[in-house]
Amino acid sequence: MAFVFNYSDIHLSDMQGEIMDNSNVDKGRRRFLTAAATVVGGAGAAAGAVPFIATMTPSEKTKAIGAPVEVDISELKPGERMIKKWQGKPVWILRRTKEMLDDIASQNEAVSDPTSQASSQPEYAMNEFRAREDEYLVVIGICTHLGCSPSFVLKDGDNSPVVDWKGGFFCPCHGSRFDLAGRVFKGVPAPTNLVIPPYKFITPSQLLIGDDSEAA
């Protein structure tokens, strides 16, 4: 039996209406997809900006790796020492008294490298007191023998490592001794003086450790 399709059964107005309905649906769908894409794209851009902005601020990890460290020394009294960290290493800041400076000068014959010719420090610290300003010693507190951290031992203290000790640093690991300028004594395992890091005074009471650029 043959099937006969009668075009007269379909009204033109119905076809037009259906086409218009489909067109409206398509337009609505396009508007929805466009709006959704805009929202998602904006959210993605905002999310992407967060880590970018975060990278503009130095992190604690960055500071530990080597960023300069500012230190307020306004409360440091004569004869006192403070400890800060730079590059993950302890940095000692010792404010020396006149007596301490006199004791340093009296030990030039007892230390291995009195003028730091064979030791590590910036050029401005290649002097008897190994400092920009005689009063302040800024030194990395790690023994140059095997990397232990020496103890700060005051003059004539109960734990003095030798007789007639005038104060300085004593490494309990293998017995190395350093004076109050970080200079190593003769006859101990440590081969060189303690290391002086780059530093400068921002103000009379503010130090910057790790950066000595544009310094006089």
**CA-based nearest residue to 81, from 89, 71, 67:** 71
Catalytic residue among 29, 30, 85, 174: 174
Give the count of alpha carbons within 13 A of 202, CB side only.
13
Both tokens assigned to 142? 């790690």
Query: How far is CA 57 from its chain centroid?
Result: 13
Both tokens assigned to 163? 């007789």
Count the helices and strands in the chain (H runs, E runs).
3, 9
Between CA 109 and CA 186 the distance in angstroms is 9
Residue environment code for 33-54, b if the CB has 16+ CB neighbours within 10 A, otherwise e: eeeeeeeeeeeeeeeeeeeeee
Q: Is residue 11 flagged as an active site residue?
A: no
CB atoms within 10 A of CB 73: 18
CB atoms within 10 A of CB 144: 21
Phi and psi based region of residue 116 (left: phi greater than 0; alpha: psi -120 to 50; beta: remaining)? left
Give me the active site residues, please: 174
